[in-house]
Amino acid sequence: MEKHVTAERPFQQTNLDLMGPFTISLHGNKYILGLVDINSKYAIMESLQTAKGEEILEKIESCLFYKHRSPEVIRRDNAAYFRGELFRTIEERCTKIDFGTAYWLESLASIERLFRTVQATKAKLLEGVYSN
């Protein structure tokens, strides 16, 4: 069993995951990229049109590396869109890429919790729209 993931300072450990696909938005987006800092619980969410490595990498660079800094570790699941050659670019920035344990959601608990909150909020908002 894997031990609980902790961090002593901001952006030491982060969790990354993708949510979707959703119905295509007015701007052509189908996915949400989520990133949560383990220490501060600071969350970053960005919309994506595809689940391709190039677009994911662009968003990670623009919303994390350029605005904040390179985290020491990015933990992600084993999904195919996180396994491309492009993620070697992240490691070149001195950020270690770590995989969560398959079928053990606690290994990525903070990002999964964020996504549950987003899903619940979306359901409540849609409930209000369709109940009128």
- Write down all domains in the chain, each with its CATH number in brackets: 13-123 (3.30.420.10)
Stated as kind and residue range, the H or E segment containing 124 is helix 109-130
List the structure tokens of 32: 């949400």
SS3 call for 17 = strand
Residue with tokens 């903070």: 110
pLDDT digits (tens, 9 = 90+) for 51-79: 999 999 999 999 999 999 899 999 998 88
Q: What is the pTM of this model?
A: 0.85
What is the pLDDT averaged over residues 97-104?
74
Q: What are phi and psi of 122, to 5 degrees?
A: -60, -45
- What ranges in 16-108 are assigned the alpha helix state H? 53-60, 87-92
* pLDDT band, residue 50 (cuts 50/70/90): very high
pLDDT score at 19: 96
pLDDT score at 2: 52
Name the percent of the chain lying above pLDDT 70.
90
- What pairing do the DSSP bridges indicate for beta strands 73-76 and 43-48? unpaired
